[in-house]
Amino acid sequence: MLVYSIWNNKGGTGKTSLAFQCVTRFAELNPDKKILVIDMCPQANMSELLLGGQESNGSSALLANQAKIPRCSIGGYFDYRLGSPFSVPNFNANDFITTPSVDNDTIPRNLELVCGDPLLELQAIAMNTLANNDIPGINAWIAIIDWLKDLLSKLDHDYVFIDTNPSFSMYTQIALAASDRVILPVMADDSSRRAIQNAFSLIYGLRLPSEVYKNYTFAKKLGDADRSLPKIHLLIKNRITQYMGDASAYKAVLLGMDADLRDLVKQYPTSFTFKDPSRAMASVRDFGTTGVVAFARGCPFSSMPVGKLTVAGRRVQVKKDYRDQALEAIDSVVRKLS
């Protein structure tokens, strides 16, 4: 089992929409593999997309899963763990898993989903409280941080992709602690460039503003428990420009990101899965109308029709060459995943 987290502490990078297209395409191109998506975000946008988007009642399908007993979502699983926070109880992991293709026939059948849940925000408060308990013989923080690993240990999927919240909350840390690799989407702006540095500080406890924080970092607490950290695997420059690609007004920022990444790889090689940064970067253009239609319909680019389509009661035009270019961009990312 290889586990990826798609994460950036900065919001607005198009993380979920990009993850939706990449993961569904990855599943389509690997039909002999079992793929699991875990939506570790309270907004549950990834779940709605996989279950049909706004045009195919994705929201209703999501609510139906959250209404099941037990609740068929990550929130349902965490609810169960709140009753046994420091030891692994007996449970059926499949109670918390749904198959999106039942509701959305454009999704590959080898892809399964643990739905997102707004309960995560409330649960984070409880998880933080539990993690700070001082219990003789028990590392309370590690016990809580391992909740997702405990779930995955009962499953036999080949690949797991975790769509995370743009935060470093307790549930995000749980996702990262369960991951082998991190995919970092960024935009062509200075705040995204800073986000790369922030990611390093938050995950690896490096380049901190002050040494006073060192003993409280995620990396220190995992290290003290002899646990490994996930490695950065891929940096995706998302929504570069619609027509000009990297050769645009943002080129200076993009070149700065490249330089930052090379510097980080040189200084901290064990934090990456690669030695050559150029092989770990992908550029994805703005998908424009093609993307808007695909996400409204909860539809991967590979199976999305072209021509005049109806979205939210309006007729819009999806051009074949734009759809094909969007799919080509996604394929360039997918080729770098495994």
Task: Give the pLDDT of the chain (338 residues) as one tens digit per residue.
Answer: 999 999 987 766 678 889 999 999 999 999 999 999 999 999 999 999 999 998 889 999 999 999 999 999 999 999 999 999 999 999 999 999 999 999 999 999 999 999 999 999 999 999 999 999 988 889 999 999 999 999 999 999 999 999 999 889 999 999 999 999 999 988 766 666 777 788 888 899 887 767 777 778 999 999 999 999 999 999 888 765 444 444 455 666 667 778 888 888 888 899 999 988 888 888 887 788 888 888 888 999 998 888 777 776 677 777 888 888 889 999 999 999 87
Q: What is the pTM of this model?
A: 0.92
Question: Could you tell me which residues are beta bridge partners of residue 37?
Answer: 113, 161
Question: Pick from 218, 215, 131, 226: which is nearest to 167 by CA?
Answer: 218
For residues 277 and 246, what is the distance between their CA atoms, to the nearest angstrom?
16
Q: β-pairing, 35-40 with 181-186?
A: unpaired
* pLDDT value, residue 102: 96
Three-state DSSP class for residue 109: coil
Q: Are 177 and 219 in contact (CB under 8 A)?
A: no
pLDDT at 237 (0 to 100): 81
Residue of 281, 298, 189, 293 whose CA lies nearest to 241: 189
CATH among 3.40.50.300, 1.10.274.30, 3.20.20.210, 2.30.30.280 for 2-334: 3.40.50.300
Amino acid present at 25: R
Paired residues of 112 in beta bridges: 36
The one-character DSSP state at 10 is S
What distance in Å separates the CA atoms of residue 327 and residue 333, rounded to the nearest whole number? 10
Hey, CA dihedral for 104, 40, 205, 14, is it positive or negative?
positive
Name 320's Cβ contacts closer than 8 Å, sequence gap at least 6: 306, 307
